[in-house]
Amino acid sequence: MSLLVKPQSEKGTSRAWWRGAAIYQIYPRSFADSNGDGMGDLPGITARLDYVASLGVEAIWLSPFFTSPMRDFGYDVSDYCDVDPIFGTLGDFDRLVQRAHQLGLRIVIDQVYSHTSDLHPWFQESRSSRTGGRADWYVWADARPDGSPPSNWQSVFGGPAWTWDARRGQYYLHNFLAEQPALNVRNDAVQRALLDCARFWLDRGVDGFRLDAINYAMHDPALTDNPPAPANGRARTRSCDFQLQLHNKSHPDITKFLERIRAVVDEYGERFMVAEIGGENPEPVMQLYTQGNKLLHSAYGFNFLYADKLTPALVKNALEAWPDTPGTGWPSWAFSNHDAPRAISRWAGPEEHEAYVKLSMLLLVCLRGNIFLYQGEELGLPQAEIPFEDLKDPEAIANWPLTLGRDGARTPMPWQTAQAHAGFSSAKPWLPIGASHAALAVDGQERLPHSPLAVTRELLALRRKSEALKEGALHVTEASETFLVFERRSAGQQLICLFNFGSAAETWKPPAGERWRVLKQVGGVADGILPPLSGAVAERLA
């Protein structure tokens, strides 16, 4: 089916809707529960879309809601073209899309093309025989002469990336859980099947895709062993940390598949594709996947998602890796998401949380590229502490307590301060509400004019109406240990963006003869004096 109500491009500009867009990530299981079973669902999201639209974002990214045994909470897909019953029905999804479009919001959904669930019918058929119709749809390989796996590759979740299957008398590859066998995406029949899945959702009105772990879609077909990784001073909690992952991902042939996806997406008009690219030094791969007009529109890595400190040097290095030059792709940025500890808990102590939430949000809206906000980031939610008995994340359970896992970033959204379970559900939630989260709930912040929620709305409104922030050039002019300054320029606007991450005041004065006005400040900036943990955006006057 095709929905008739579509958001319109912004008036007065030829810019594609996604370029410079602010995109709000929703983790469906934890956003809003409509039926009292303790888990969020699609009708719950639809009921809260007015709130999302009020933030001033252009689009929503929905994490997986597809049919799945939920060994990795939806990233192990057993049916690409249906909704898992815990989230609702296809009809619920259609109503969500229609309501979002009525509110002017675009819908971007996850697509997981590097692997499926081991319960997917494709894998069940593939493992049953070496000669069946789908025998070559997954990555199978014979054992080495001593019976060991075909290569030394290690899973992201720890342990060998190969599991023996007695039915075939071979190993199958899984870069993540053993329940997530790797698709053989070199196989043309696999590519055509995945493209059909893309068309299924495009026909239902989605506006784009976030491609999960797409750099794992192809590997070195010779199954060459990865070399050991030199020590870098960081703790190694997973077996894959001991390797340079040179041969099990990011094969150059992936771009040929991306071209096929882009061609399908372009059949539907103004759509958008962004990829997640993990691993060390991801910029060359991200730029390879986004160059020109036949691949992805954008990509994002983990520059900020796993950083334990926010520094001017970190920001400068990340931004300067994406120069505004012909042929270089368009970046995307995220400070938090469902896979990483919430940024505020990584970057600031409890006594600094509110100031740092506002400062980091100001930084995010000033970055050149698309920006992603993770649900609750606008409230300043810290990482929740989950006791061992309540953990759900398989990686956290397996590696406790060295790897705390992802559950602390996936706890339910707090809607009402005084309601049971913070208004998320009438039943006990699938994960506990964060201990400090109810006090930060939406209804309480709605009443406060200077709350993190209020400031987020003001900052997103500033970005939305500024061509310099949405699409302008960026030039870093200062990046000391604690003070960051960069310019944003468009044809009709010049901005200066100032950020003091330190514990002492900083001073900024415009060059002699120039007149500037502050458009937005956080942390008490006045008369060119930036107190600790403060920032400002100023516009040059003609």
Residue 489 pLDDT class (50, 70, 90 cuts): very high
Residue 246: Cβ within 10 Å count: 14
- pLDDT score for 52: 98
DSSP 452-507: HHHHHHHHHHHHHT-HHHHH-EEEEEEE-SSEEEEEEEETTEEEEEEEE-SSS-EE
Per DSSP, 238 falls in state S
Residue 261 pLDDT class (50, 70, 90 cuts): very high
State pLDDT tens for residues 99-133.
999 999 999 999 999 999 999 999 999 999 999 89
Q: Which residues contact 432 (CB under 8 A, 6 or more apart)?
A: 384, 386, 390, 411
Q: Which residue has the higher pLDDT, 414 or 2?
A: 414
* Secondary structure (3-state) at 254: helix
Q: Which residues contact 475 (CB under 8 A, 6 or more apart)?
A: 486, 487, 489
201 vs 205: CA distance, rounded Å: 7
- Is residue 220 within 8 Å of 248, Cβ to Cβ? yes
Residue that the structure tokens 């006594």 belong to: 351
Domains and CATH numbers, the chain: 22-113+187-221+231-463 (3.20.20.80), 115-184+222-230 (3.90.400.10), 472-541 (2.60.40.1180)
The residue type found at 139 is V
Residue 511 pLDDT class (50, 70, 90 cuts): confident
Q: How far is CA 94 from CA 4, 42, 78, 89, in A?
A: 11, 10, 20, 9
- Is residue 382 within 8 Å of 394, Cβ to Cβ? no
pTM summary value: 0.96
Q: Sort strands 162-165 and 170-173 into parallel, antiparallel or unpaired.
A: antiparallel
Q: Pick from 100, 98, 15, 23: which is nearest to 57 by CA?
A: 23
Instruction: Report the half-sphere exposure of 471 (CA within 13 A, side-chain side).
Output: 13
Checking if the pLDDT of 5 tops 50, the result is: no
Residue 235 pLDDT class (50, 70, 90 cuts): confident
* Secondary structure (3-state) at 519: strand
Return the active site residues: 212, 267
Per DSSP, 50 falls in state H
Residue 238 pLDDT class (50, 70, 90 cuts): confident
